[in-house]
């Protein structure tokens, strides 16, 4: 019942994402709309549809609108806004915020961007005037949805949970899985399996792979 | 540039069941390393240009500063902003005695006394 393998957890809900966390790497790769505030010589080679072409040295002119991954935007952003200015993606703007406040439970957060909470939290780094509203929205949305997640994770034993997790974002899914694990561990204990020695899941998987190799 | 190939590798690992490593993706890894090498080389060439420019600038600035104000030259990097007022307030650390300014008036510089003087009589290392 103890952990066979510890993954590096996401730090996205805190001040900074974790460098070694796979979840954070995937989250940080999501793009957001930015506007260049200064011309960028030679970087147009990476954005062939936007740059001036070979004669102008592939420069990206000032004021271009681009979509950059979060990790790149964070690296280039600075308080005096010399290089980039960041626009909020639609789902964090006023319109969607009203939808979330109306009823947070019906929204498909997985479709809106599988890392809604993590990405939204890291978005607060860009000194947007709406930051207070965004953080309130993230918090209230989570509060609205939490009850259902907790209930469903604690009461779905040994069944197919795909319908329950379909509309949850990655963070909520992690929470659901933790709940499921707690439930399974408890059931295990109740059956008296807690004091029995069982093969570790890692070893079981390894054995399975070996079998298929032999079959080939 | 946006590490799409590298992201594929990360996704592959992420998808793998708990505690297992997917088979070593030699091809993918090689492509990523090549991309990294190409980016690094482009960066290096930009840096070289910048270094050349900076050395040139450094030398020009030093030559110019040496050619100003008298024998030792004038360090113009000391005050980056224009002064707000015509006068500067000075506190003396040591007794100097009488100091005669260009228009004939003299000022008595005693230890810890504070005095207003016209800005242009000061280079920062003399105070």
Question: A123 and A161 in one domain?
Answer: yes
Asked if the C-beta of B13 comes within 8 angstroms of chain A's C-beta atoms, the answer is yes
A5: chain B residues, CB-CB within 8 Å: 18-19
Question: B15 and B60 in one domain?
Answer: yes
Number of C-beta neighbours around residue A73 at 10 A: 23
Question: A175 and A98 in one domain?
Answer: yes
Q: A2: pLDDT confidence band, cut at 50, 70 and 90?
A: low
Question: From CA A34, how far away is CA A127, in angstroms rounded?
Answer: 14
* Torsion sign (Cα): B3, B9, B12, B13: negative
Question: B98 and B50 in one domain?
Answer: no
**Does any domain span residue A48?**
yes
Are residues B99 and B109 in contact, defined by beta-carbon separation less than 8 angstroms?
yes
B19: chain A residues, CB-CB within 8 Å: 4-5, 201-202, 205
Mean pLDDT of all residues in chain B? 77
Q: Which residue intervals of chain A are DSSP H helices? A: 22-28, 70-76, 94-102, 109-112, 116-123, 131-155, 162-165, 170-190, 201-215
Q: Which two tokens stand for residue B12?
A: 């592959």
Question: A100 and A52 in one domain?
Answer: no
Q: B20: pLDDT confidence band, cut at 50, 70 and 90?
A: confident
Mean pLDDT lowest among A101-105, B6-10, B14-18, B110-114: B110-114
Number of domains in chain A: 2
CATH number at residue A158: 1.20.58.2050
* 3-state secondary structure (DSSP) of residue A66: strand
**B80 has a pLDDT exceeding 50:** yes
Question: B93 and B41 in one domain?
Answer: no
**Does any domain span residue A216?**
no
Asked if the C-beta of A205 comes within 8 angstroms of chain B's C-beta atoms, the answer is yes
Mean pLDDT lowest among A49-53, A160-164, A178-182: A49-53
Residues spanned by the domain of B51: 4-67
Question: B60 and B23 in one domain?
Answer: yes
**Does any domain span residue A208?**
no
Render pLDDT for A93-141 as a digit per residue (tens, 0 to 9).
Answer: 999 999 999 999 999 999 998 999 999 999 999 989 999 999 999 999 9
Q: Which of residues 95-124 of A touch B (CB under 8 A)?
A: none
**Does any domain span residue A47?**
yes
Question: A122 and A61 in one domain?
Answer: no
Q: Which two tokens stand for residue A55?
A: 């004669």
Question: From CA A106, how far away is CA A167, in angstroms rounded?
Answer: 8
Asked if the C-beta of B45 comes within 8 angstroms of chain A's C-beta atoms, the answer is no
A33's enclosing H/E stretch is strand A31-36
Residues whose CB is less than 8 angstroms from the CB of residue A8 and which lie 6 or more positions away in sequence, other chains included: A18, A20, A21, A22
Closest by Cα among A152, A123, A157, A150 to A138: A123
Question: A98 and A66 in one domain?
Answer: no
Question: A101 and A79 in one domain?
Answer: no
**Does any domain span residue B81?**
no
Question: A69 and A110 in one domain?
Answer: no
Question: B9 and B43 in one domain?
Answer: yes
Question: A151 and A106 in one domain?
Answer: yes
Whether residues A26 and B2 touch (CB distance < 8 A) is answered with no
Asked if the C-beta of A26 comes within 8 angstroms of chain B's C-beta atoms, the answer is yes
Quote the ipTM score: 0.76
Domain end position, chosen among A18, A53, A87? A87
Q: Alpha-carbon dihedral of residues B37, B39, B42, B44, nearest 10 degrees? A: -70
Q: B75: pLDDT confidence band, cut at 50, 70 and 90?
A: confident
Q: Which two tokens stand for residue A160?
A: 């197919």
Number of domains in chain B: 2
**Does any domain span residue B73?**
no
A205: chain B residues, CB-CB within 8 Å: 17, 19-20
Asked if the C-beta of A69 comes within 8 angstroms of chain B's C-beta atoms, the answer is yes
**Does any domain span residue B39?**
yes
Residue A7 to chain B, least CA–CA distance (Å): 9
Residues spanned by the domain of A121: 89-195
Question: A156 and A62 in one domain?
Answer: no
Number of C-beta neighbours around residue A142 at 10 A: 20
Distance from CA of residue A55 to its chain's centroid? Answer: 40
pTM over 0.95, yes/no:
no
Whether residues A22 and B1 touch (CB distance < 8 A) is answered with no
Question: A99 and A67 in one domain?
Answer: no
């Amino acid at each position: 019942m103890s952990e066979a393998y510890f993954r590096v957890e996401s730090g996205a809900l805190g001040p900074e994402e974790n460098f070694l966390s796979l979840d954070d790497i995937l989250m940080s790769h999501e793009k957001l709309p930015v506007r260049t505030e200064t011309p960028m010589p030679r970087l147009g080679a990476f954005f062939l549809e936007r740059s001036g072409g070979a004669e102008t040295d592939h420069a990206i002119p000032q004021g271009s609108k681009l979509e950059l991954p979060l990790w790149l935007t964070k690296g280039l952003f600075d308080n005096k806004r010399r290089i980039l200015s960041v626009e909020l993606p639609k789902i964090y703007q006023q319109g969607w915020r009203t939808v979330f406040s109306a009823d947070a439970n019906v929204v498909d957060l997985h479709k809106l961007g599988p890392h809604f909470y993590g990405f939204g939290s890291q978005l607060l780094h860009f000194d947007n005037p709406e930051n207070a509203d965004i953080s309130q929205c993230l918090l209230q949305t989570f509060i609205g949805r939490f009850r259902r997640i907790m209930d469903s994770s604690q009461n779905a034993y040994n069944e197919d949970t795909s319908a329950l997790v379909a509309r949850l974002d990655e963070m909520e899914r992690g929470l659901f899985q933790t709940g499921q694990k707690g439930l399974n561990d408890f059931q295990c204990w109740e059956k008296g399996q807690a004091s029995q020695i069982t093969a570790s899941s890692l070893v079981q998987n390894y054995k399975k792979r070996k079998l298929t190799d032999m079959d080939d | 540039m946006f590490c799409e190939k590298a992201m594929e590798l990360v996704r592959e690992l992420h998808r793998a069941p708990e505690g297992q490593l997917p088979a070593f993706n030699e091809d993918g890894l090689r492509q990523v390393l090549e991309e990294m090498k190409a980016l690094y080389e482009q960066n290096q060439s930009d840096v070289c240009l910048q270094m050349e420019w900076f050395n040139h600038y450094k030398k020009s600035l030093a030559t110019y500063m040496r050619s100003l104000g008298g024998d030792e030259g004038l360090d113009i990097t000391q005050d980056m902003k224009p002064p707000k007022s015509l006068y500067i307030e000075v506190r003396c650390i040591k007794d100097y005695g009488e100091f005669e300014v260009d228009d004939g008036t003299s000022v008595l510089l005693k230890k810890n006394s504070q005095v207003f003087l016209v800005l242009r009589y000061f280079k920062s290392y003399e105070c």
